[in-house]
Structure 1
Amino acid sequence: MRINHNIAALNTHRQMGQANQGQQASMEKLSSGLRINKAGDDAAGLAISEKMRGQIRGLDQASRNSQDGISMVQTAEGALNESHDILQRMRELSVQSANDTNTDTDREELQKEVDQLSEELTRISDDTEFNTQKLLDGSFEGTLQIGSNEGQNLGIEIGEMGAEALGVASNEGVNFEVGDSTAANTTGALENDTTYSVVELGEEVNIADDGDNGSIDAKFGLEDSNGEVVAVSEDGSEYHALKNATKESELGEDALAESDITSNDGAKFDDPVTSGTVTTNGAGDSLTGATATIKFDGGESLTSGEYTVVDDSHNDISSGENGLVDNKGNLVAVSSDGEDWDTVSGEDLFTSTTTLDTSDQKISVEGDGGIDISSQTAADKAITTIDGAIESVSAERSKLGAVQNRLDHTINNLGTSSENLTAAESRIRDVDMAEEQMNQTKNSILGQASQAMMAQANQLPQGVLQLLQ
């Protein structure tokens, strides 16, 4: 018998430690509900479950993204619902105006409502927003992230739905806005190092254009060698160059080529110049950004938008002619001199007081009010035009509705995927409470039994005392 090493007690102590450790692990799992509480519980299982958790949370966020996408689409589609109502009313007014039981006065009143409805169409297009992003002005082109991984997205683009884009804004009598730095010089431009006479203008300036006279309130003017007034001043110090003017011309920023006309040494006219001659340095010798007045000769008009002047290298343009193409590349007008423009079918379209050349010059047409229903012929034609606008809005709403239905299915699919992946992750990460309770009970009993056996093992060395009696 040995007393220095109680092997039975050591063995029992080891077994009791294992039982206590197992019991503590079971209690940790039972209290957290997780089978894996730390990497040591299951290193491979932890890595797999964390990857699954990333997928699950990505799927859940993608579902929320899709729901936000539906809200955005519904916002746009709801606005277009009102646009549809407006167009239907415009069509109703056009049908009414096309009936010759109406007088010109009646049609003027009908035109007023059409003008207001057209402006409201544009306002809806410009002001409809979702999370500060404009939806219907043609600028929205975005991506919805509808999956948990890279590249799992849906592109969405919403067209412009304003009156001009739909072709129901008036274009009669509006201005071409020259938008390129290659704008042609006009009669009102000042040439370099040229001497001009200073003349008193009184209250009126006559400028030759298409037969109308311009009236500009100014005191002094600069007159070229041909006797034509090319600049005016109210104080004799600051002169403003004139463009080719119509009777609507005014002295202001829109009528300027260069606000400050200086002498050839670069100095401004600090002292009033009210008589004699002056020499300029050519300030304003190009009317960049000026407006070129146009006049429609017939019943035809241009749809509002941006156009580009092209040469005869474009298809369907005869040699030596210029053409006008829209932003889709379609030829809409031709001209042999850059001023008199006809439709592609040969009908008169418009004349301009500024020659439009082919240096990739871009012009824009802006509507003023609603589509014309002021006559029986115009109103009859407006019906077809509005029908086209209604079809455009219908097509856009149909597209948005299809996207919404697709997102509904996307949400359902994401929910199913998230549910099944969560179940798989749960089998790896979560604890089986019944099984772990059984393990905890086993380890608890083993621990108690180990304690009892430890007491018995500690009594064994006392048997040596019997030998010493």
Structure 2
Amino acid sequence: MIIANNLLALQTMNQLDRNTKKANGFAKQLSSGERINSAGDGASDYAISEKMKVKIRALTQCSDNAKNGISMLDSASAAVDQQVNIMKKVRELAMKSANDTCTDKDRESLQSEVGQLLDQSEDIAQSTNFNGKALLNKAEFSREDKKFNALVPYRANPNHEQVLTFPTDKIATVSADGNTTGTGVPFGDYTAITTTPPNTYDFSAVVKGAALTAMPSVNTVIWDDASGTYGRVEQDATDHAFYVNSTAGKTLIEIQGITNAAFPAPAASNVSTAVYAPTTSPAVGSSVALSATPAFDSNTPPVVVAPSAYPVKNAPGSGILSYFDSSKSDATMEMDFSGLFPLSANGSKDLDGIGFSTACDGCGQFVTIQFDASTDDPQRYEDTSGTMSPPPLCYVIGVKSVTNSSDLLGAMFNGVTATAKAGGGTLPSATDTSTQIAERHDIEFNYYAATGKMTMSKTGQNFVFNNGIMGAMEKTDYFKPKQTLILQLGDESSQHTNMSIPNTTLSIMFPSDKSTWDITPKDSDYPSEWPSGYDTLTDGQKREKWQTDVWGYPSTNGGVDEKTCVSTRENATKFLGQVDQAVKYLLRSNTTLGAQSSRLQYTGENIDTSILNQTANESTIRDTDMAAAMVAYTKENTLTKLSQSMLAQANQMPSRVLSLLQ
């Protein structure tokens, strides 16, 4: 027997602790009704249960969202119902006015009533809302229609921005419309100056050419080798010999092997042809002749007559030394945008909306190039007014990424290639390449790889350039008569449902010809096979009938004048057809609302079923089996009491040792 360590008491105490903890755990389950009260009660079950609770709460809100959506759609549908009833009454009144039993005074009364009814329909569309959100007067952006109007007069760039830097040989000219003063370039062709063979000559320098091998004719001009100058051929009256008469005097003509009158054949020749000296690298700004044969007057000694002179220039773009022939039907302008750069802190926005135009001297077509800093994509537009043939063109060049002059050249060149009918090359390019801007007069951009420069060229007519815009880009936004409202009907962010709420204002029920509603059917909207009853109609009549009978939107028919629509029999007859289209549209709109409301009914029921199933699944994981928990609690509670009794007895064991010491 020992007293230092009461092992029996310690063992009993440990067992008592375990029994107490188990009893407390079951008591907690019985008091809360849940088997899992914290993550410590079962980490995995706790995580699964909490995820299910999150989903259940989300689905509960989705159910509420569906109910609110149904209420919203029903509110819109009820309002459209009232508009349908109004249009029924309006149609009755229109039919009455269309009958010749009505007097003008009667029609005044009918017109007043119709006007009030139409106003009420508009009020319903404008005022119907759900929780402060307007329902029947909204529109959605559908598309943007851009067109080029060539009839808009020329206007300079903002702040008179100089897009093009003109060359020093620019010329003043007037555009084809006779009103716009512009800047042109000399009309002609650049031909490279070559050395082998030479194709240009210095007409101020007559020199010795090839030695003569035959006796020249009287009055021709030849070169006197002896005196080193040119002179005219004469025949002496005394000895009948030929002489060359120059500023140095007269010289007997000697040609090897040929007798000159009384003079025997010499062993060598002393005369040659007279020619202009070839010039292979003349100075820019000088002039050259294209023929080596000089022209002389009739004097003796002769005097050189000035030939047709061709100015020497560096060809635009390529920079090649060339002579310029103004008789040729070409025009070339280097695209120099250096004045636009460097850009300010605004970057390419500095270029937005500015551009330049080029027109012909002799025809109505012109081309406008305009920069758009909102994009890098190009677009090409033709004037559709039909007032000019061929139609003027406008290239809208995206310059969003442009930072320097080279970028701008590339954007223009590639933009034209991407949108022009004829196409062309693209940049960057290691070789020279071109792209066509307009077929008329073969207008092109020409890129020169060696210099990195670009020109615009054309044939047939000269250029008129303007640092500004001829014509104007016009933009019209078109809209669908509806709004799309999103209902969150799923517990995931992407699980939403779109509801379409129609616009039922008078502007869509009676659209005008200038309406911006996107309601005209496209080719793809028409049926591939026409219904019965269309057999005898032309294609245009088939489309018109289908649009009237089937297409969901009214036809654009001049709108409605609330003050005169039934004021005469003719007006009332026309108005009847418009009302029929309006009623068709309202019925289609209300059908859409009703179908969507019905859909939401099923959606809500499905959500409620999901909530029930999720709750049942979560219950099996988390809820306590009360009967089993009670049995276990009773067991653990009984064991706890027994452990307490045994501990008391174990604690008495050391006291028994004392009896041995008595």
- By the TM > 0.5 criterion, same fold? yes
Q: How many residues align?
A: 287
Opposite residue 129 of structure 1, the aligned amino acid is N
- Of 539, 561, 568, the residue aligned with 1:375 is 568
SS at structure 1 position matched to 2:502? coil
The question of whether the paired residues in 1 share the 8 Å contact of 2:35 and 2:623 is answered with yes
The answer for unaligned runs of 5 or more in structure 2 is 140-482, 523-539, 542-557
Which position in structure 1 is the counterpart of 2:495? Answer: 152
Alignment CA distance shift 1:116-1:145 (3 Å): same
Q: Distance in 2 between matches of 1:133 and 1:53?
A: 32
Structural mapping, 1:232-311, within 5 Å:
303=512, 306-307=515-516
SS at structure 2 position matched to 1:138? coil
Alignment CA distance shift 1:7-1:371 (3 Å): farther
Q: How far apart are residue 463 of structure 1 and its match? A: 3.0
SS at structure 1 position matched to 2:515? strand
Opposite residue 94 of structure 2, the aligned amino acid is S
Q: How far apart are residue 451 of structure 1 and its match? A: 0.8
The question of whether the paired residues in 1 share the 8 Å contact of 2:56 and 2:615 is answered with yes
The question of whether the paired residues in 2 share the 8 Å contact of 1:118 and 1:371 is answered with no
- Of 590, 608, 618, the residue aligned with 1:425 is 618
For residues 229-283 of structure 1, the C-alpha deviation after alignment (integer angstroms, 9 at most, x for no partner) is xxxxxxxxxxxxxxxxxxxxxxxxxxxxxxxxxxxxxxxxxxxxxxxxxxxxxxx
Q: How far apart are residue 152 of structure 1 and its match? A: 1.2
Q: How far apart are residue 376 of structure 1 and its match? A: 2.1
Which position in structure 1 is the counterpart of 2:82? Answer: 82
Structural mapping, 1:375-414, within 5 Å:
375-414=568-607
Alignment CA distance shift 1:111-1:82 (3 Å): same
The question of whether the paired residues in 2 share the 8 Å contact of 1:122 and 1:164 is answered with no
Which position in structure 1 is the counterpart of 2:656? Answer: 463
The question of whether the paired residues in 1 share the 8 Å contact of 2:485 and 2:501 is answered with no
SS at structure 1 position matched to 2:583? helix
Q: How far apart are residue 367 of structure 1 and its match? A: 5.3
Alignment CA distance shift 1:329-1:92 (3 Å): closer
Q: How far apart are residue 50 of structure 1 and its match? A: 0.9
The answer for unaligned runs of 5 or more in structure 1 is 168-301, 308-325, 332-343, 346-364
SS at structure 1 position matched to 2:102? coil
Structural mapping, 1:126-275, within 5 Å:
126-139=126-139, 140-167=483-510
Q: How far apart are residue 371 of structure 1 and its match? A: 6.6
Runs of 4+ in 1 over 6 A off after TM superposition: none
SS at structure 2 position matched to 1:306? coil
Q: Distance in 1 between matches of 2:81 and 2:519?
A: 27
Q: Distance in 1 between matches of 2:87 and 2:513?
A: 17
- Larger Rg computed on CA atoms: 2
Q: Distance in 2 between matches of 1:110 and 1:25?
A: 84
Q: Distance in 2 between matches of 1:76 and 1:304?
A: 28
SS at structure 1 position matched to 2:34? coil
Q: Distance in 1 between matches of 2:564 and 2:591?
A: 25
Opposite residue 412 of structure 1, the aligned amino acid is E
Which position in structure 2 is the counterpart of 1:3? Answer: 3
Opposite residue 159 of structure 1, the aligned amino acid is P
Alignment CA distance shift 1:134-1:86 (3 Å): same
SS at structure 2 position matched to 1:137? coil
Stretch deviating more after TM superposition (368-377 or 396-405): 368-377
Output the TM-score relative to the length of structure 2.
0.42
Q: How far apart are residue 304 of structure 1 and its match? A: 6.9
SS at structure 2 position matched to 1:158? strand
Q: Distance in 2 between matches of 1:441 and 1:330?
A: 79
Opposite residue 33 of structure 2, the aligned amino acid is G
Q: How far apart are residue 420 of structure 1 and its match? A: 0.8
- Of 434, 442, 447, the residue aligned with 2:627 is 434
The question of whether the paired residues in 2 share the 8 Å contact of 1:304 and 1:367 is answered with no
Q: How far apart are residue 406 of structure 1 and its match? A: 0.7
Opposite residue 624 of structure 2, the aligned amino acid is V
Q: Distance in 1 between matches of 2:568 and 2:26?
A: 90
Which position in structure 1 is the counterpart of 2:645? Answer: 452
For residues 3-31 of structure 1, the C-alpha deviation after alignment (integer angstroms, 9 at most, x for no partner) is 11111111111111111111111112211
Q: How far apart are residue 466 of structure 1 and its match? A: 3.6
The question of whether the paired residues in 2 share the 8 Å contact of 1:118 and 1:370 is answered with no
Of Structure 1 and Structure 2, the greater strand share is in 2
Which position in structure 1 is the counterpart of 2:24? Answer: 24
